[in-house]
Structure 1
Amino acid sequence: EKEFPWNYNDPTCRRSQSPSFNGLTNARSLARLAELVRRSHSETDPIALVSKETFDVCFTPRAAEYDAAVGFELSFTKIGTGYFVRGFGDEEFYGWAGAGGSLVIFSLRRQITFSFAMNFAYLQPLGDVRTSRLIREVLRIVDERKKKL
């Protein structure tokens, strides 16, 4: 039997019953679910997952606190999702990040949802260079398209 830290790329670990982690999925599924959550911010969107009132209560940001696991301050909402306000200019994101590099976030202002799920898990605190580059590129493309409209 293996002890922590497990090798998350090992088939034995991937088959384990571990409800607090080990959410094996793909980026498309993560993005689809997060998009339903994001659309709940609208009072008129027929595809919303919950009411706007419920969304507003759940996604109220709390004060940032130092997180020893990642080595810097993090902000969370009332239901525990991340509230990311640094690293991408003036953009604010809500979402989740996994220790292996996976990420799913959405922006209320730009009305976009982004997800990344890696093929190889590398144990790290939050996201990685790949996710940062991809997010910056998505934001650049969204801004470029809005200018053309």
Structure 2
Amino acid sequence: MREVMTKTMARNVFYGGSLFFVVIFLILSAHSVRYIVTESTASVELTDSVAAGKHVWERNACINCHTLMGEGAYFAPELQNVMARWGVEDAPEDAFDVLKGWMDSQPSGVEGRRQMPQFNLSDEEVRDLANFFLWVNKINAQDWPPNDAG
């Protein structure tokens, strides 16, 4: 083997390596998209109410305190599995009632406890948010959160 690399050899290594990694990138991207579409999300059950609940989540900046599938601030509990923790993941009307009661009781005023602000959401906004949490609860989060408490 030669001790000196010529310009042609360097160019061939560059183009060959670049082509190899572009092909690997495209294969991994296709695999990720296929996984997300077919296995990860519950996209079949995505409704206008779920989308509206996501807008309520964003409009009120809930992610500034809570996490959703590990994304967000760690000031307040993880909410990916909140409906399962409350035991209402299969009952949309119960999910609305529990979430409405929780939201109406805030701030709780318990001494020494972090306080959630009162957002004064309408019943429709709370219902949309509950539907969003029900939908998020059905996503295959690959064992996230690591414990049931969120």
| Shorter-chain TM-score range | under 0.3
Q: Which has the higher contact order (CA 8 A, sep 6+)?
A: 2
Normalising by structure 2, what TM-score? 0.22
Higher strand fraction (1 or 2):
1
Higher helix fraction (1 or 2):
2
Normalising by structure 1, what TM-score? 0.22
